[in-house]
Structure 1
Amino acid sequence: MSQIGKPPCEEGAILSGEQATPCSASSRRWTLVATILGSSLAFIDGTVVNVALPNIQRTLGATTSDVQWVMESYALFLASLLLVGGALGDRFGRKRVFMIGAGVFTLASIGCSMSSGVGPLIAARAIQGIGAALLVPGSLALISATFPPSERGAAIGTWSAFSGITAAIGPVIGGFLVEHYSWPLAFLINAPLGIVLLAICAAKVPESKGNADAGPIDVLGASLVTMGLAGLVFAFIEAPSRGWTAAPIWLAALIGIIALLLFVRVELRAASPMLPMALFRERNFAGANMLTLLLYAALGGSLFFLPLNLIQVQGYGATAAGAALLPFIATMFLLSRWTGSLVDRFGPKLPLVTGPAIAAVGFAMFALPSTESTYWTSFFPAICILGLGMSVTVAPLTTTVMNSVGKELAGTASGINNAVSRAAALLAIALFGLVLVFAFNTTLDAELRSLHVPAALVSTVVEQRQKLAGMEMPGGYPDAVISAMKHAVKLSFVSGFRWVMLVSAALALLSAVSAWVFIEGKQAARAKFNSAKNR
């Protein structure tokens, strides 16, 4: 749920593809089916896992940092290797790399379902992320390579429609399986889809490759960005429990910063960089990616904690929690055609300022509910406003990225923006965890001081504080005492959740400001687009 539906620029990556290899109508249809199934694997996994996290935490006795790693180990390798996955497909065959990604992803999903502890689950999720990094760009490239430009619009429409359906029903089905059966089944959803996908690819999907003269794969750049993001994420997630002065924490942070600085240096000098830094000299491209970094950090970081609030504090079942964001998905789906025309009517600047500003209001509204709030009066309005803000933003953002560079670089630009959105969510989940834990501990300490409860119970709660609202109360105490302690824990979580949502609102506002500063107006953008189109 930290990544709802499609990230920005996925349609852009398809539209910018090279001239398709001639193939039969049957091959095109089967390729479209394969890409829909491939994208569904990633979409379902990205939304179902969040709903399963509270159950995973309770069943495996995991801490909050443990469940963060369940999400972050996957997101780390997907964000770091996404651009490399696309390059590997161009070099060695898009169908081949796509199938390898699907196979790795499916096997890792089965491994997740068989995990008996947090450690093996985190490791399986990391392997899943590697598979997704090969699978996701491959699904986009196959559409570009198979459908000629005259047919891509219809193919994209079909692909987007089924992706929307997947995003809507995935969390509900996953929540139902978690609530009525067990969390491993949420991962096993991927297994039959993966098997069918591999069979279709082997029998029906044609192979294609990219430019044979492309430079070497940027292995050093991929290694450095993975190391850099991993170091920072480790420091942010583990600091609340180990302390910032602990050697592993400051050492990981230092390694992460150095690796990212070296990554920039390598990309500036590499013959075939995975991240061409020269693109950021273009004002609209730099502004669009700054907006993406800030807004998708707000979206990914905040919505990671929403199911924990709904299930552990508000008392929702996993099915209801999975269905809670359906209005968000429905709003984006219903408004997609209208928002796609906003750039033509108003230019990119107005929607890219207005959309994030509306989203900021939605994030701020999430800070209003307390421990016993009803869905329709508290969460539903916030979800609808947030969905409206993101709807106004996403299509114009894709168009702005595509129009900011020449058509020969549009695919690269789209891939970069897609990777930025995923990296933003990766870092935000770790950073927001710091914010939530600090506010939770501060409020819990104050609540415990005001309660007149046995010292042994207080000690038990303090020992479990790393589980946040997922902590379990011991037996042997009066119901009134346990009820008071549970209420204190819930109030503490809500306090942290409010801070997370307010930080998200601030980031969304900053993204609107970045669009106001960097994104050009309608006339300048149109002139630049016409110039790029004629290159």
Structure 2
Amino acid sequence: MTMKRKLPIVLLATTISSFTTPFMGSSVNVALPMIARDFSMNALSLSWVASSFLLAAAIMLVPMGRLADIYGRKIFFLGGSLIFALSSFLCIGAATESVFIALRVFQGIGGAMIFSTGTAMLISAYPENVRGKILGINIAAVYIGLTCGPFIGGFLTEHLGWKTIFIFNALLGLSAALFAAFIPKEERPAAKAEEFDLTGSFLYAIALFALMYGFSQLPSVAGGALIVIGMICFIFFIRRQLKKPFPLLNIHLFMDNRIFAFSNLAALINYCATFAVTFLLSLYLQHVKMMTPSQTGIVLVIEPLMQAVFSPLAGRLSDRYEPRIISSIGMAMTVIGLFALIFIAAGTSIHYILMCLVLLGIGFAFFS
């Protein structure tokens, strides 16, 4: 297959995968109350339905990206799509909450393999003069997935059951794998002669898991101990990466470029502050407001819809004005939206909640 003929296949495979991962996250949030009912989960266990996927993806993202650079991106993209699809299918038949959460971990691993290779495949496949347009299409798929997730997830949950969400995602994963199978193998991986830091990968994984699980166990002594272990592992990981000729994560990018370091720190804070909103509102709307999953999906779709609508405007404003000013305005709007959510109660009107979600969506668009 010639380079010219393979380009649409690369774009199609990566665009499907870019849609699938955010769609999975936003659609499952709407189904959480039904999942909790079927597995008799408490609030802490239910939080791991979402967190296990994201934690696994976060732990595996950097190592998988590095391995893909060494051994080839296509095989990791294809393997990730198949792992994601298979684990999604198996979620349908999970008999216990432990099995279900374990399968969510495998979904996260598959998602990390996909996410760490998709954009790199696009950049290497397309010439520089059209990359902006192609990456724009790919990013648009992310926003479409975020926007469609609550609505489609709510509809499927209410009328066909929450398991159909996983069937839908499995089919998307298989579609991405099918198209990826027809992508020619790279002539030479980007970092074929370089070594993989296995010890660094273990330190990175232990640090993230210990911190995440430790915070979930606070204020217990075990939770505090895990947080300390996680911090120690992170220190050893950073020291190791500074000494390695082929590091898993280039720490010098953060040390030598203050803008890069602080922008990533700001993004981390923003995601930490806003991620739990849809999780909590999904439970609130269905348990307190007694809304159906479809109605809940319609409410929750407002935030990603605002992101999709206002992101192009934010991009144009960033071209005309100082980007840090635009980002600061976005963060300020996010803070106002989060502060307003503090006051919701059983009698709070839906219009008030919608206003908060509009502020969060626009704020996130301007920040990003």
TM range (shorter): over 0.9
Alignment partner for residue 324 of structure 1, among 299, 302, 307?
A: 299
Give the 3 Å change call, closer, same or farther, for CA 296–22 of structure 1 in structure 2: farther
**Is the Cα–Cα contact under 8 Å of residues 339 and 391 in structure 1 kept in the other structure?**
yes
Residue segments in structure 2 that go unaligned for 5+ positions in a row: none
Q: Distance in 1 between matches of 2:197 and 2:59?
A: 12
Q: Distance in 1 between matches of 2:125 and 2:229?
A: 43
Within the alignment, does 1:161 sit opposite 2:140 as a pair?
yes
Compute the TM-score of the two structures, normalised by the length of structure 2: 0.93
What CA deviation, in whole Å up to 9, does each residue of 1:470-525 have, x standing for no partner? xxxxxxxxxxxxxxxxxxxxxxxxxxxxxxxxxxxxxxxxxxxxxxxxxxxxxxxx
Q: Distance in 1 between matches of 2:265 and 2:170?
A: 37
| Structure 1 vs Structure 2 CA RMSD | 1.9
Alignment partner for residue 19 of structure 2, among 40, 45, 67?
A: 40
Deviation (angstroms), 1:136: 0.8
Residue segments in structure 1 that go unaligned for 5+ positions in a row: 1-20, 395-535
Deviation (angstroms), 1:214: 5.2
Q: Distance in 2 between matches of 1:31 and 1:309?
A: 41
Alignment partner for residue 320 of structure 2, among 339, 345, 349?
A: 345
Amino acid of the residue matched to residue 385 of structure 1?
L
| 1:317-396 to 2 correspondences below 5 Å | 317-375=292-350, 377-394=351-368
Alignment partner for residue 286 of structure 2, among 290, 293, 311?
A: 311
Q: Distance in 1 between matches of 2:310 and 2:139?
A: 13
- Report the counterpart of residue 207 of structure 1 in structure 2: 185
Deviation (angstroms), 1:213: 5.3
**Is the Cα–Cα contact under 8 Å of residues 363 and 382 in structure 1 kept in the other structure?**
yes
Tell me the number of residue pairs that the alignment of Structure 1 and Structure 2 aligns: 366
What CA deviation, in whole Å up to 9, does each residue of 1:216-268 have, x standing for no partner? 123222211211121122222234xxx613xx434433322222222122222
- Report the counterpart of residue 220 of structure 2 in structure 1: 244
Within the alignment, does 1:273 sit opposite 2:251 as a pair?
no
**Is the Cα–Cα contact under 8 Å of residues 25 and 149 in structure 2 kept in the other structure?**
no
Alignment partner for residue 263 of structure 1, among 220, 237, 242?
A: 237
Q: Please say which structure displays the higher CA radius of gyration.
A: 1
| 1:283-322 to 2 correspondences below 5 Å | 283-322=258-297
**Is the Cα–Cα contact under 8 Å of residues 368 and 378 in structure 1 kept in the other structure?**
no
- Report the counterpart of residue 112 of structure 1 in structure 2: 91
Q: Distance in 1 between matches of 2:304 and 2:104?
A: 25
What CA deviation, in whole Å up to 9, does each residue of 1:34-56 have, x standing for no partner? 11111222111111121111111
Amino acid of the residue matched to residue 43 of structure 1?
P
Give the 3 Å change call, closer, same or farther, for CA 297–273 of structure 1 in structure 2: same
Deviation (angstroms), 1:288: 0.6
Q: Distance in 2 between matches of 1:213 and 1:93?
A: 8
**Is the Cα–Cα contact under 8 Å of residues 97 and 134 in structure 1 kept in the other structure?**
yes
- Report the counterpart of residue 75 of structure 1 in structure 2: 54
Give the 3 Å change call, closer, same or farther, for CA 99–335 of structure 1 in structure 2: same
Deviation (angstroms), 1:148: 0.8
SS at 1:370 equivalent: coil
Q: Distance in 2 between matches of 1:33 and 1:77?
A: 25
What CA deviation, in whole Å up to 9, does each residue of 1:136-156 have, x standing for no partner? 121111111211111112212
Q: Distance in 2 between matches of 1:44 and 1:330?
A: 13
Q: Distance in 2 between matches of 1:199 and 1:352?
A: 39
Q: Distance in 2 between matches of 1:165 and 1:76?
A: 23
Moved more, 189-198 or 158-167: 158-167
SS at 1:373 equivalent: coil
Q: Distance in 2 between matches of 1:94 and 1:73?
A: 25
Q: Distance in 2 between matches of 1:217 and 1:44?
A: 32
Amino acid of the residue matched to residue 39 of structure 2?
L
Q: Distance in 2 between matches of 1:265 and 1:45?
A: 36
**Is the Cα–Cα contact under 8 Å of residues 76 and 226 in structure 1 kept in the other structure?**
no
Q: Distance in 2 between matches of 1:158 and 1:344?
A: 19
Q: Distance in 1 between matches of 2:198 and 2:317?
A: 39
Give the 3 Å change call, closer, same or farther, for CA 212–378 of structure 1 in structure 2: closer
**Is the Cα–Cα contact under 8 Å of residues 97 and 138 in structure 1 kept in the other structure?**
yes
What CA deviation, in whole Å up to 9, does each residue of 1:278-301 have, x standing for no partner? 112222112111211211111113
Deviation (angstroms), 1:373: 2.5
Give the 3 Å change call, closer, same or farther, for CA 249–359 of structure 1 in structure 2: closer
Deviation (angstroms), 1:165: 2.4
- Report the counterpart of residue 174 of structure 1 in structure 2: 153
Alignment partner for residue 192 of structure 1, among 171, 178, 199?
A: 171
Q: Distance in 2 between matches of 1:30 and 1:341?
A: 30
Q: Distance in 1 between matches of 2:193 and 2:317?
A: 36
Deviation (angstroms), 1:350: 1.2
**Is the Cα–Cα contact under 8 Å of residues 144 and 308 in structure 2 kept in the other structure?**
no
What CA deviation, in whole Å up to 9, does each residue of 1:328-356 have, x standing for no partner? 22222222222113333222221122110
**Is the Cα–Cα contact under 8 Å of residues 215 and 271 in structure 1 kept in the other structure?**
no
- Counting aligned pairs with the same residue, the percent is 29
Q: Distance in 2 between matches of 1:222 and 1:331?
A: 37
Q: Distance in 2 between matches of 1:293 and 1:196?
A: 32
Deviation (angstroms), 1:60: 0.8
- Report the counterpart of residue 67 of structure 2 in structure 1: 88
Amino acid of the residue matched to residue 373 of structure 1?
T
Alignment partner for residue 125 of structure 1, among 100, 104, 107?
A: 104
